[in-house]
Amino acid sequence: MKLQRNVLERIYEHALREYPDECCGIVTGTSRKQLIHLFENIQNRMHAEDPARFPRDARTAYFIDRGVFDKVIASADSQGEDVIALYHSHTEHEAYFSEDDVAAQTVFGEPEFPDAVHVVVSVMSNRIHDLKCFKWDRELKRFIVLDNCC
């Protein structure tokens, strides 16, 4: 499923507003209606509370409050909506799906939302540089780059 233009524009706005920190969020909905949910990146708080466990700050990592995330998912489920996409930005780096991204999105070697697209937006010098989308390939058991998700 392709992201609608207005959703993509809101992702870009979110990435630019949070720069130089990474942004994060999800897109829920149906093939006809997509809703974007902007989350607070609490990585700086996690880093301040436990720098040994969370050595990176929000300029190079993101962390979503799982309680907030679960409430959005429950609301979407109750309305018959799916998780269409999960997104985050990379600041001053290319749009790629890092080993940390893979680890964050997989549990026991499988993604929690195997049908969702994973969007990474590259922001450099406070400008959108690039966007890439990744999808779980069930046969290969890994994330692959999509040619076009918008």
Domains and CATH numbers, the chain: 5-146 (3.40.140.10)
Which residue's entry shows tokens 């050595």? 55
Please, what's the largest Cα pairwise distance for the chain? 44
Q: What are the residues whose beta carbons fall under 8 Å from the beta carbon of 133, sequence distance 6 or more?
A: 85, 117, 118, 119, 120, 145, 146, 148, 149, 150
Amino acid in position 47: H
Q: What's the average model confidence in pLDDT over 105-114?
A: 90
Helix (H) or strand (E) holding 87: strand 82-91
pLDDT at 21: 98
pLDDT confidence tier of residue 1, bands split at 50, 70 and 90 = confident
Nearest by Cα to 58 from 17, 99, 103: 17
Whole-prediction pTM value?
0.95
pLDDT at 107: 84
